[in-house]
Amino acid sequence: MRTYDNPVIGGFHPDPSVCRVGEDYYLACSSFEYFPGVPLFHSRDLVHWRQIGNALDRPGQLDLPDDTPASAGIYAPTLRHHDGRFYLITTDVRGKGTFLVTADRPEGPWSDPVLVDIPGIDPDLAWDEDGTCWCAMAGVTVSRIDPATGKVLEGPLPIWSGTGLQHPEAPHLYRVGDWWYLMIAEGGTAHGHSVSIARARSPRGPYEPAPANPILTHRSTDLPIQSTGHADLVTAPDGTWWMVLLGTRPRGWFPGFHVLGRETFLTPVEWVDGWPRVGPVREQHTAPEVWQPFQLPPVRDDFDAPALAHSWISPRSRRDDSWSLTRRPGWLTLDAQRGQVFLGRRQQHPDCRASVRIDPGSGRAGLSVRMDEAHHYDIEVAGGAVSVVARIGPVRQRIASRAVPPGPVALTVDIAATDADTRAPDILTFSVEGPEMAVELAELDGRYLSTQVAGGFTGRVIGMYVTEGEAAFDWFDYQEALR
């Protein structure tokens, strides 16, 4: 019997929303303060996912000011397909509020935003048989809207606030048979996270809660996957039901530290007596009947393509004059003339290695493991020396330094998860390699780059940066380290 491993999309990919069109599945995740926003994935079997784009990939759709706090920005999208068109609705919590974008193809291009004047976060879209569009929001309310204009035609109407736990959010409406089902998350997005459900004959209610709520929670368990919630349901062509959801994988001593952020997990669903039943989310489950792995692109980027790969993200914005793939062909050039620049990709595995070959020129640049502006470890080259620098809250400390010859050098961070009974969730080892030299510079405790220390809703992002002058990067390589 074939099995699959959880998570199905590792690393900082929270708040998954999924829809199926024929035999193809499409999934979107939150992106918070990063640009481009809302990564989009495609799968043929719910297990193997390939990123096909970002829904918000131009400043006209997503313009996050420089003072946007970490973990603000874009929250909790819902992705749906209706009447031959894709719809994605989400909220910019410090900017334009709730809006939706549409596309003929999930790869895009996606439309300019259509504003929807409903307060709250975590918007959802569902259509009745007559084409009426309903928008549910955290709280939980439902409104009848015109998705073409964003106009609110009725509501918002309070419909169900869950079982009494804090933060009823992440509502999704489904029509199943003669019933409308309203599935929500509640209990907060930390260890108390859970999934509950209710049903009614109309989207307006009244809603009858499931007798076995919550239908999913890992709170107060010692299961390796925690914080399970913010779920979405999808049916396969064979009639089976599946749930995508977020979860975390904490490690180390109390309180446990998760460093990859909230990741996307998959678990099977059964229907019993008119209600969905979900077992604990395991690290391995029996796979869906259809098994169609993708030939994934290499994770090494030699910067020979005419455009950046979809997986590269930057905090808040990415000005066109701050980077170039043509200024030095075969290299990525970053220019700090108008401020520091960072391009990174999500850390997706507890054990991994990331390396970059850099020509710093006369600039200051390097490789960073980032949670936010106040929590990151860097290995950088400037003024003929390579240094490892740790930023933890208000403290910035140079951990190690040594001279390097002029010209390109390779910078590497090796990340190794620790045993469960240690204090640190992992150890980060920084090293440099150049002409006639290969030196390990420092080992750092990974707990200080965790959600439990930094706070917020994101996970680690590893990437290249420049803070002074201009620097060029020949390649970036990221690999899972197999034990």
Q: Could you give the residue numbers annotated as active site?
A: 15, 169
Length of the chain: 483
DSSP string, 423-480: SSSEEEEEEEEETTEEEEEEEEEGGGGSHHHH-SS---EEEEEEEESEEEEEEEEEEE
Is the bond preceding residue 394 a cis peptide, omega within 30 degrees? no
Distance separating alpha carbons of residues 452 and 257, to the nearest angstrom: 6
Give the Cβ contact number of residue 165 at 10 Å. 20
Per the CB < 8 A criterion, the answer to whether 479 and 331 are in contact is: no
The set of residues, in sequence order, having a beta carbon less than 8 Å from that of 427 and lying 6+ positions away, is: 415, 416, 418, 443, 444, 445, 446
Distance of CA 252 to the CA centre of its chain: 23
HSE-CB of 267 using CA atoms within 13 angstroms: 25
Sign of CA dihedral 200, 28, 34, 57: negative
Distance separating alpha carbons of residues 73 and 61, to the nearest angstrom: 12
Distance separating alpha carbons of residues 39 and 57, to the nearest angstrom: 9
Q: Which H or E run contains 454?
A: helix 451-454
Sign of CA dihedral 106, 460, 248, 50: positive
Token pair for 15: 């708040």
Give the Cβ contact number of residue 192 at 10 Å. 17
